[in-house]
């Protein structure tokens, strides 16, 4: 439940209001859902450049000796194997292999890291990390003072070069650098949640409004709400924490094996190894509807007339023009097989497919 | 928000334009604005019989799925075929090219349970407060 008295606001809330955004609470934060319309914003991001207020997300700075394995044990990605100035996606698990959070880790130096986590889970992540970290490792929660903007879309690079210099061109996918923007030395990474060429900019809160305004002065850039952020990530088949993955889901069930380094020890590894030997109680599938009608959260999934699971995310795909979704099923259903998605009098024919749904993203070029 | 003076309204934000014994039915500007981008409309077939304040059509937007209820009981005599490929017509023109069906009114006394434009304006004003 959301406590009305404790709804959090980002430093940009007045900017959103002046842009006539529709606001709603998400993960305890008052956030812009849309400005002009979800479909317009979605298509603009795929074609030009979209600007997202992501100040609600959490950031931690960690000082750790790479030889000391306590921080390494907290996450599934191989930290020691990361080169300085690279980013890596992975999970923080509990002892049962359940996902406490999914996160991005930045290697700032040999001994310094930044972890970027979901908004609603920031507090829980901090408690979990403090429980397992030893005195030699230093953890600082910088979420309250560090703002974050995402600039995503095929024109994002050209826009950012004007603000941060030609060095932006050198950033490869999943790497970052320090750039001087508005007199501040800030981290900019070539990462994102849309499947498009794009960047995440970490700016101290004092200058985040200025950065937002400056970026919006460019005609190629428009503000994008969480509504389009959701359809953009869904078209890529990216999971959303709290909806597609949670503490009761393991990375193996969520098709996240690619983000696990089996060559090291981490919390939850014994549980995952055991899961790998047996059969998974559930597994994620991706599907496309045969019409514009969209599957929705909690619609049942049926295969050969048997109920085998439920939809976790579903929507009309603005890029493709039909319904798409993902969900968990109790038995294997191969790509190409027909399923039915049902809720009350609604019944949607769908076909299991591989991800991503949208294959023309500019992210990796 | 636009509320034309020549229509009748329901609490669920449908409108009806009466023309003799028929009524053209759609959803209001307030409804399309609340739903956001409309992506799918399940329009009833010609010949189907709908009942006042009961399910008539399904409307989906990017954000939500919701039902449209019939302002009158009657038989569907025309359905807007344009909406299957262009559901966004409801966003662009809720009272005109975004109409959903025309029904043959079975009982014109049912108009007494609908709101006048003035009543609907007042009703929406209270909802927005």
Residue in A291, A293, A316 nearest the CB of B62: A316
Q: Which pLDDT score is estimated for A6?
A: 84
Q: Which residues of A touch B (CB under 8 A)?
A: 22, 33-34, 37-40, 227, 231, 291-294, 296, 315-316, 318, 323, 345-346
Q: Do A316 and B58 touch (CB under 8 A)?
A: no
A45 CA: distance to closest CA in chain B (Å)? 16
Interface test with B, best of A26, A33, A39 (most B CBs within 10 A): A39
- For residue range A265-285, list pLDDT tens digits in order: 999 999 999 999 988 999 999
pLDDT of A312 above 90: yes
- For residue range A111-134, list pLDDT tens digits in order: 999 999 999 999 999 999 999 998
Rounded to two decimals, the ipTM of the complex is 0.90
- For residue range A33-76, list pLDDT tens digits in order: 999 999 999 999 999 999 999 999 999 999 998 877 799 999 99
Residue in A40, A227, A292 nearest the CB of B39: A292
Q: Which pLDDT score is estimated for B17?
A: 98
- For residue range A199-243, list pLDDT tens digits in order: 999 999 999 999 999 999 999 999 999 999 999 999 999 999 999
CA distances from A226 to A58, A246, A354 (A): 17, 20, 25
Question: Hey, is the C-beta of B125 within 8 angstroms of any chain A C-beta?
Answer: no
Contacts of B60 in chain A (CB under 8 A): 292-294, 316
- One-letter-per-residue 3-state SS of A275-322: HHHCCCCCEEEEEEECCCCCCCCCCEEEECCEEEEEEEEEEECCCCCC
Give per-residue burial for A206-240: e unless 16+ CB within 10 Å, then b: ebbbebbeebeebebbbbbbbbbbbbbbbbbbbbb
Cα separation, B94 vs B53, whole angstroms: 19
Q: Do A296 and B65 touch (CB under 8 A)?
A: yes
Cα separation, A155 vs A151, whole angstroms: 9
Q: Do B39 and A227 touch (CB under 8 A)?
A: no
The DSSP output letter for A352 is E
Q: Do A227 and B63 touch (CB under 8 A)?
A: yes
Cα separation, A264 vs A257, whole angstroms: 14
A294 CA: distance to closest CA in chain B (Å)? 8
The torsion angle over the Cα atoms of residues A214, A215, A221 and A225, rounded to 10 degrees, is: -110
Question: Hey, is the C-beta of B92 within 8 angstroms of any chain A C-beta?
Answer: no
Interior angle at CA A214, CA A45 and CA A148, nearest 5: 65
Count A/B contacts: CB-CB distance under 8 Å. Answer: 42
Interface test with B, best of A314, A316, A344 (most B CBs within 10 A): A316
Q: Which pLDDT score is estimated for A3?
A: 53
B84 CA: distance to closest CA in chain A (Å)? 9
Tokens matching residue B6: 């020549």
Contacts of B37 in chain A (CB under 8 A): 37-40
DSSP output for A90-153:
EEEE-TTS-EEEEEEEEE-SSSEEEEEE-TTTHHHHHHHHHHH--TTSEEEE-TTTEEEEEEES
Q: Do A38 and B63 touch (CB under 8 A)?
A: yes
Confidence bin at A5 (pLDDT 50/70/90): low
Question: Hey, is the C-beta of B34 within 8 angstroms of any chain A C-beta?
Answer: no
Q: Directed axis angle between helix A156-164 and helix A208-216, to 10°?
A: 120
The nearest alpha carbon in chain A to B88 belongs to: A39
Q: Which pLDDT score is estimated for A1?
A: 44
Confidence bin at A146 (pLDDT 50/70/90): very high
Residue in B55, B60, B91 nearest the CB of A294: B60
CA distances from A238 to A7, A282, B15, B45 (A): 27, 18, 40, 38
Contacts of B65 in chain A (CB under 8 A): 294, 296, 346
- Taking residue A115's Cβ as centre, other Cβ atoms within 10 Å add up to 23
- For residue range B28-73, list pLDDT tens digits in order: 999 999 999 999 999 999 999 999 999 999 999 998 999 999 999 9
Q: Which pLDDT score is estimated for A4?
A: 61
Q: Do A316 and B63 touch (CB under 8 A)?
A: no
- For residue range A315-353, list pLDDT tens digits in order: 999 999 999 999 999 999 999 999 999 999 999 999 999
pLDDT of A2 above 70: no
Calculate what percentage of chain B has a pLDDT beyond 90: 96
A7 CA: distance to closest CA in chain B (Å)? 20
Cα separation, B53 vs A264, whole angstroms: 62
Average model confidence (pLDDT) across chain A: 96
Interior angle at CA A318, CA A312 and CA A321, nearest 5: 95
Average model confidence (pLDDT) across chain B: 96
Residues in contact with A359: Cβ distance below 8 Å, sequence separation at least 6, in sequence order: none
Contact (Cβ atoms closer than 8 angstroms) between residue A267 and residue A296: no
Cα separation, A321 vs A304, whole angstroms: 27
Considering only residues A116 and B129, tell me which one the structure prediction assigns the higher pLDDT: A116
Q: Which pLDDT score is estimated for A309?
A: 98
Cα separation, A227 vs A167, whole angstroms: 32
Q: Which pLDDT score is estimated for A269?
A: 98
Q: What SS3 state is found at B83?
A: helix
Contacts of B62 in chain A (CB under 8 A): 38-39, 227, 231, 315-316, 318
Q: Which pLDDT score is estimated for A27?
A: 85
């Amino acid at each position: 439940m959301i406590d009305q008295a404790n709804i959090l606001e980002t430093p940009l809330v007045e900017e959103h209001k002046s842009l006539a955004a529709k606001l709603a609470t998400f993960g305890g934060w008052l956030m812009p859902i849309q400005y002009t319309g979800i479909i317009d914003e979605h298509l603009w991001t795929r074609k030009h450049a979209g600007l997202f207020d992501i100040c609600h997300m959490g950031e931690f700075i960690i000082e750790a000796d790479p030889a000391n394995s306590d921080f390494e044990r907290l996450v599934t990605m191989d930290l020691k194997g990361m080169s300085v100035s690279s980013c890596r996606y992975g999970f923080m698990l509990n002892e049962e292999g359940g996902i406490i959070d999914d996160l991005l880790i930045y290697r700032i130096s040999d001994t310094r890291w930044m972890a970027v986590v979901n908004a609603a889970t920031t507090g829980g992540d901090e408690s979990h990390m403090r429980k397992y970290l030893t005195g030699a490792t230093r953890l600082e929660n910088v979420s309250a003072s560090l703002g974050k903007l995402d600039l995503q879309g095929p024109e994002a690079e050209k826009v950012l070069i004007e603000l941060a210099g030609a060095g932006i061109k050198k950033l490869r996918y999943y790497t970052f650098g320090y750039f001087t923007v508005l007199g501040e030395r800030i981290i900019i990474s070539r990462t994102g949640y849309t499947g498009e060429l794009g960047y995440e900019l970490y700016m101290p809160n004092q200058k985040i409004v200025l950065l937002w305004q400056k970026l919006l002065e460019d005609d190629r850039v428009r503000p994008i709400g969480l509504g389009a952020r959701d359809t953009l990530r869904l078209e890529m088949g990216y999971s959303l924490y709290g909806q597609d993955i949670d503490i009761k889901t393991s990375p193996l069930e969520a098709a996240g094996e690619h983000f696990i380094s089996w060559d090291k020890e981490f919390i939850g590894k014994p549980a995952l190894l055991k899961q790998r030997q047996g059969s998974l109680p559930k597994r994620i599938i991706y599907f496309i509807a045969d019409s514009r009608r969209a599957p929705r959260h909690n619609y049942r999934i049926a295969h050969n007339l048997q109920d085998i699971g439920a939809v976790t995310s579903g929507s009309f795909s603005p890029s493709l023009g039909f319904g798409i979704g993902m969900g968990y099923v109790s038995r294997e259903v191969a790509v190409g097989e027909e399923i039915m998605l049902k809720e009350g009098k609604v019944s949607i024919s769908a076909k299991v497919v591989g991800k991503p749904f949208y294959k023309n993203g500019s992210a990796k070029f | 928000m636009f509320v034309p003076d020549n229509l009748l309204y329901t609490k669920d934000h449908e409108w009806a334009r009466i023309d003799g014994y028929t009524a053209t039915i759609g959803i209001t500007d307030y409804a399309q604005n609340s739903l956001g981008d409309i992506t799918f409309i399940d329009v009833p077939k010609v010949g189907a019989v709908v009942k006042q304040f009961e399910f008539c059509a399904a409307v989906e937007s990017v954000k939500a799925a919701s039902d449209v209820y019939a302002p009158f009981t009657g038989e569907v005599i025309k359905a807007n075929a344009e909406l299957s490929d262009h559901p966004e017509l409801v966003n662009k023109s809720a009272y005109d090219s975004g109409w959903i069906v025309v029904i043959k009114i079975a009982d014109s006394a049912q108009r007494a349970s609908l709101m006048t434009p003035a009543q609907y304006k007042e009703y929406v004003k209270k909802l927005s407060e």
